Amino acid sequence: MAFTLPNLPFAPDALAPHLSAETFEYHHGKHHNAYVTKANELTSNEFTNDDLEKLILETEPGPLFNQLAQHWNHSFYWQCMKPNGGGEPTGELADAINSAFGSFADFKEQLKQEGATHFASGWAWLVHDGSGLKVTSTHDADLPMKHGQKALLTIDVWEHAYYIDYRNARPDYLTAFIDNLINWDFVAENLRNV
């Protein structure tokens, strides 16, 4: 029994030119894998991915929480992308975004701004906070479930997520992610499960 590194839901080169196979070699194969390995070391391999959310909610901030939360964050992040993604959502998700933010263009700008201005390492999120949709960000390994929010979408704004392809141009990475990579089917499914 142990936490395991999930497979990417796409081939490592499937999101090029927006994110390269080299980025996934490091981001998935090294960074995410290191979180999984360390979580197993800290828990003596006694838990699996099925235990992850329960453990995150029960664990206080510190070394174990960081490994568990980063394992969850990255596993969720991979699902937020797909080849030929991006564009605008449709259906109930589009209606919810328009209701919460006024328009998709306003939502896009707010999400991009949240990610671009987030100081240091962290995550930009679209969440449901119990009353509606909200754009927010978290520092380091922190995540919405620790704040009673349901994650619908995330963009990793740690430098290792974009530095190979975009160097220090985080806004360019955010634009490329929103315009070309978001898996709106996954986001819509998350909203249906609120």
- pLDDT tens by residue, 149-190: 999 999 999 999 999 999 999 999 999 999 999 999 999 999
The domain segmentation of the chain, as residue ranges, is 21-79, 91-192
Q: Strand, coil or helix: what is 124? A: strand
Q: Give the pLDDT of residue 81.
A: 98
CATH 1.10.287 given to domain 21-79: yes
Q: Give the pLDDT of residue 74.
A: 99
Encode burial over 1-10: b for 16+ CB neighbours within 10 A, e otherwise. Answer: eebebeebeb
**Which ranges in the chain belong to alpha helices (H)?**
21-26, 33-43, 52-58, 63-79, 91-101, 104-117, 163-166, 170-180, 184-192
CATH number of 91-192: 3.55.40.20
Cα within 13 Å of Cα(152), Cβ side? 24
User: What is the percent of the chain where pLDDT is above 90?
Assistant: 100
Contact (CB, 8 A) for 88 and 105: no
Compute the average pLDDT of residues 100-117. Answer: 98
Q: Give the pLDDT of residue 83.
A: 98
Q: How would residue 136 be classed by pLDDT, with cut points 50, 70 and 90?
A: very high
Contact (CB, 8 A) for 72 and 143: yes
Q: How would residue 72 be classed by pLDDT, with cut points 50, 70 and 90?
A: very high
Compute the average pLDDT of residues 137-144. Answer: 98
